[in-house]
């Protein structure tokens, strides 16, 4: 490729990234992800305007569409701090209310009382957790049968969400940290007892084919907890369990991993022992 073409491609990509970041809906999305999606869209030969539109659509499908309400992190933190001083029950109620504003945790709320108890029954004692593409899931730590000094590492692509999770962890003295990360090209490497990839593989696979497997292989944990929704975002339930089970089996068929399936009303879980 000629040097002029490379420069023009680079300029087009930077123009696309700036344009996406101008929109209030996407200004908090990590640039690595915008660049990854934008590069692919531009490589299809479309102009910058069309590629910007396609990039925003993809960002909506893999993240934006799951927010059921515009996050108000400042007011949520205030509420969490007040609740914390008034006791554990109220604190959990506020966590549950906030989780109800994100589609994945909203669905999980219906089964949360048994979700982690059943999963952790298959795991050796857990002292460290990695939550890959975490969304609001770190707020469910108080439903997990783990010691108070458990280390929790959480990653997602939204900067404001990650700030919120770090503040949440400080309020409830959770050790660990949250970080902004595009996890396909830069998979987190902390060694943890277990890693969660909840409701996330379908999103990663929309960005890049086989990205789900790539991340499962790269994560540095012996146990991986992978889940899939049983309903589409628009509420369609037909064949979803079968569809995702087949996709998951195809993704992992060449691996010598032992896999345990757990069925829940709103989610299908696979526990992988590497």
Ligand X SMILES: C[S@@+](CC[C@H](N)C(=O)[O-])C[C@H]1O[C@@H](n2cnc3c(N)ncnc32)[C@H](O)[C@@H]1O
Which of 91/115 has CB closer to ligand X? 115
- 140 — alpha (psi -120 to 50), left (phi > 0) or beta? alpha
Whether the Cβ atoms of residue 155 and residue 183 lie closer than 8 Å to each other = yes
Q: Tell me the residue nearest to ligand X as measured from the CB.
A: 135
Please provide the distance, in angstroms rounded to a whole number, between the alpha carbons at the two ends of the chain: 42
Neighbours of 13 (CB within 10 A): 19
Per-residue string for binding with ligand X, 94-133, x by CB under 6 A?
A: ----------xx---------------------------x
Q: By CB under 6 A, is residue 187 in contact with ligand X?
A: no
* Residue count, binding to ligand X (CB under 6 A): 25
Binder among 126, 134, 165, 174 for ligand X (CB under 6 A): 134
At its nearest, how many Å lie between ligand X and the CB of residue 154?
A: 9
* Footprint of ligand X on 138-167 (CB under 6 A): 155-158
Instruction: Name the E strands within 85-232.
Output: 128-132, 151-156, 175-180, 192-198, 221-229
* Footprint of ligand X on 61-80 (CB under 6 A): 62-63, 66
Dist CA 2 CA 91 (whole Å): 59
Per-residue string for binding with ligand X, 33-52, x by CB under 6 A?
A: x-------------------
Crossing angle of helices 73-85/88-99, nearest 10°?
160
Binding positions for ligand X, rule: CB under 6 A: 33, 62-63, 66, 104-105, 133-137, 155-158, 181-184, 198-200, 203-204, 207
């Amino acid at each position: 490729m000629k040097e002029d073409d490379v420069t023009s491609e680079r300029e087009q990509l930077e123009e696309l990234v700036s344009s996406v970041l101008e929109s209030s809906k996407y200004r908090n999305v990590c640039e690595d992800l915008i660049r990854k999606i934008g590069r692919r869209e531009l490589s299809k030969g479309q102009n910058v305007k069309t590629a910007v539109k396609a990039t925003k659509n993809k960002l909506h499908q893999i993240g934006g569409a799951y927010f059921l309400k515009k996050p108000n992190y400042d007011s949520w933190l205030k509420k969490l701090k007040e609740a914390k001083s008034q006791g554990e029950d109220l604190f959990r109620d506020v966590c549950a209310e906030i989780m109800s504003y994100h589609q994945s945790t909203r669905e999980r709320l219906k089964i949360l009382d048994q979700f982690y108890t059943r999963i952790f029954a298959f795991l050796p004692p857990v002292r460290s957790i990695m939550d890959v593409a975490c969304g609001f899931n770190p707020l469910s730590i108080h439903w997990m049968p783990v010691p108070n000094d458990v280390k929790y590492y959480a990653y997602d692509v939204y900067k404001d969400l990650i700030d919120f999770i770090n503040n949440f962890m400080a309020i409830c003295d959770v050790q660990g940290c949250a970080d902004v990360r595009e996890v396909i090209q830069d998979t987190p490497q902390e060694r943890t007892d277990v890693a969660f990839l909840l409701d996330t593989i379908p999103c990663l696979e929309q960005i890049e084919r086989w990205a789900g497997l790539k991340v499962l292989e790269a994560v540095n944990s012996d146990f991986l907890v992978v889940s899939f929704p049983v309903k589409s975002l628009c509420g369609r339930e037909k064949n979803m369990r079968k569809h995702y089970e087949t996709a998951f089996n195809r993704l992992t068929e060449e691996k010598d991993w032992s896999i345990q399936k757990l069925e829940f009303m709103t989610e299908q879980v696979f526990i992988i022992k590497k």
